[in-house]
A = this chain, B = another copy of it.
Amino acid sequence: MSFNLYKLFFPCATENYQTSTIVLAGIPMDFTVSFKPGSRFAPAKIREVSIELEEYSIYQDKSLYDKTFCDMGDLELPFGNIERSIETIYQFACKLFEEKKVPIFLGGEHLISYPLIKAAANSNDGEFYVLHFDAHADMRDEYLGEKFSHATVMRRVGEVIGFKNIYQFGIRSGSKEEIEFAKKNSNFYFIDKWDEINNVIKDLKGKRVYLSIDIDVFDPAFAPGTGTPEPGGILSSDFFDILLKLKDLDIIGADIVEVAPYYDISDRTALLAAKIVRELILMMG
């Protein structure tokens, strides 16, 4: 007789941190979301639906069974305390990068990318870039009076790593000020500029890249389960074409954020996130 607690991302994940280079961890923080909260439940839901996917990817002709990766579960956070949560996430990420892990973080809200990327930047000697897929620029200086928010995360990141090291794709929403700032300072690509990804990949080849995917980069038809859906987004099939091109990059870490399962009865948003994670694992290491 055998038993199954369905507790891991894909049944073939292990709990063995030591032997795994690729590690998954849930970061269930959603304290600054201004519109529809609930991304705290995303890591559990993404794991739950991952059993529906194959371990093998036709796209890459590779199987998770040939990879060793571990799922650490969800990081416990001081609930509602933004400052201490950011610090806890930062310390955790620093440890991972110091121990030469290649982590994939399951948000949670987008603000988690700030401590995660800061840790990645710290642990990193050479050039370091962030590739950011999102409907929103997330480049506000502050939001509702707060410096640390899902809507300011890339502004904070840019202050740490330099705005010229940020590449933003899929953007179709923002305030006038933040878009002007982004256009002037970061490498900003409006939603109709996906073709430019080819040039960017060429430029970033051989450099260390952190990938931050806000699920609302997709059109709400494909990812209704998110807090600030924005019509006019990318199609899922087009996204996988782009994602697969990233295998030429040296991705040292990634996050996928803003999945809010309660707004999607069909669970297709979480399933989409799980499939992205599978492809990321297979192209890493």
Binding site for B on A (CB under 8 A): 1-8, 25, 30-32, 34-38, 40, 44, 48, 52-56, 58-59, 63, 65, 71-76, 78-82, 88, 91-92, 143-146, 149, 171-176, 179, 190-192, 219-222, 224, 228-237, 240-241, 262-266, 268, 271-272, 275
Contact = CB atoms under 8 A, between A and B. Distances in A.
B2 A76 contact: yes
Nearest to A145: B78
A149 B275 contact: no
Contacts of A228: 52
A37 B37 contact: yes
A1 B73 CA distance: 12
Consensus secondary structure, chain A interface: loop
B172 A58 contact: yes
B52 A271 contact: no
Nearest to A226: B266
Given A54-B174, A172-B59, A262-B263, A6 B44 contact: yes
Most buried by B among A2, A5, A172: A5
Contact of A1 (B71, B88, B224): B88
Contact of A231 (B149, B175, B272): B272
Given A63-B176, A74-B4, A231-B275, A79 B268 contact: no
Contact of A236 (B55, B63, B81, B231): B231
A239 B96 CA distance: 44
A98 to B, nearest CB: 14
A170 B63 CA distance: 20
A192 B242 CA distance: 13
Contact of A262 (B5, B79, B174, B262): B262
A41 to B, nearest CB: 8
B237 A73 contact: no
Contacts of A80: 31-32, 82, 144, 146, 149
28 contacts: A1-B88, A1-B91, A3-B72, A3-B76, A4-B76, A5-B71, A5-B73, A6-B7, A37-B37, A38-B38, A44-B48, A48-B48, A56-B175, A58-B172, A58-B179, A65-B176, A80-B82, A80-B144, A80-B146, A219-B221, A219-B235, A220-B266, A220-B271, A221-B222, A231-B236, A231-B240, A233-B237, A264-B266
